[in-house]
Amino acid sequence: MNNHIHWFPGHIAKAKSQLKEKLKQVDIILEVIDSRIPYSSSYPDIETLIGNKLKIILMNKSDLADTKKTKIWKEKLEKKYNCPCILTTTKNGKDTKIIVDKILKEASPVFEKLKEKGLLSRPIRTMVVGMPNVGKSSMINKLTKTSKTKTGAKAGVTRIQQWVRVNEKIELLDTPGIIPSTQDDQTKIVRLAMVNSISENAYDNEYVACELLKILDKYYKKETMEYYNLEGEITVENIAKKRNWIVKGQLPDVERASQFILTNFREGKIGNFTLDEPNDF
């Protein structure tokens, strides 16, 4: 079977051109990435897209990631992009003050300049960008303490750009998740599929579940063996057999098991795991 994954729907192509148009109006970029795949969910060559705009990285879904590796990734990203990086989760509202303060601090030089020129002060305009499903809209709802933007557990929920106000000092622009149009780095795309950042129509569940199990076997063997109560190898077949999921011909129901494994991982049921190994990048 050809397992090459390619997903670049029309709404993403449109979102990218709209993002470039809006760039002139914004002072600072919040790039939201998924802490479980900090490398694979960072938009490659983001500078080409956003130019030299100020940037803050939010390593979101940190509640689902491996705390030790998250810390290493934070330092790596701060060094690489020369910008602040904040660990966040939208599961509580604890991070909102830190984010708001950081936006005010980072954007203050822009406003000092405007004041010097005698221009009227206006709210800081912040554009929230990132790959699909990383939690951009959820983060905006936390920051505004509302449900103004639509969220959902699949890729491509936000289809339009939308301005919302945090307070009299900050405005946020929610944007649809974007991915590059060329997807030569298949390791990256498969990892995006693992965390549900690309449409499930674009890949084969069994293939993605098998690739996920290879990573779990390498770095999180004990937790995975325990969660699935396995004695033998960590494979989709063995997980199906263990649960007595058998189809015609006494074969293990690999499709059912694959979906189950992906859901368990995405919900953090097996454990808090990071798939991009900091030392590999």
Ligand X SMILES: Nc1nc2c(ncn2[C@@H]2O[C@H](COP(=O)(O)OP(=O)(O)OP(=O)(O)O)[C@@H](O)[C@H]2O)c(=O)[nH]1
Which residue ranges make up the site for ligand X (CB under 6 A)? 60-61, 63-64, 89-91, 130, 132-138, 151-153, 155-158, 176-177
Q: Could you say which of ligand X, Mg ion, none residue 134 binds, taking C-beta under 5 to 8 angstroms by partner kind?
A: ligand X
Nearer Cβ to Mg ion (136/142)? 136
The option from Mg ion, ligand X, none interacting with 133 (CB < 5 to 8 A, set by class) reads ligand X
The amino acid at residue 132 is P
Closest contact distance (angstroms) between CB of 136 and ligand X is 4
Q: Which is nearer to Mg ion, 158 or 224 (CB)?
A: 158
Q: Which string of DSSP letters, residue by residue, matches 43-87?
A: PTTHHHHHTT-EEEEEEE-GGGS-HHHHHHHHHHHHHHHTS-EEE
Per partner kind, with CB cut-offs from 5 to 8 A, the member of Mg ion, ligand X, none near residue 38 is: none
- Kindly state the smallest distance separating residue 62's Cβ from ligand X, in Å: 7
Q: Evaluate whether 143 touches 135 at the Cβ level (below 8 Å).
A: no
Helix-then-strand count for the chain, H and E? 10, 8
**Whose Cβ is closer to Mg ion: residue 140's or residue 213's?**
140
- Which lies closer to ligand X via its Cβ, residue 56 or residue 254? 56
- Cα 180 to Cα 41: distance, rounded to the nearest angstrom: 11
Contact residues for 101 (Cβ-Cβ < 8 A; gap 6+):
none
Q: How far is the CB of 263 from ligand X (least distance, A)?
A: 12
**Which DSSP symbol is given to 160?**
S
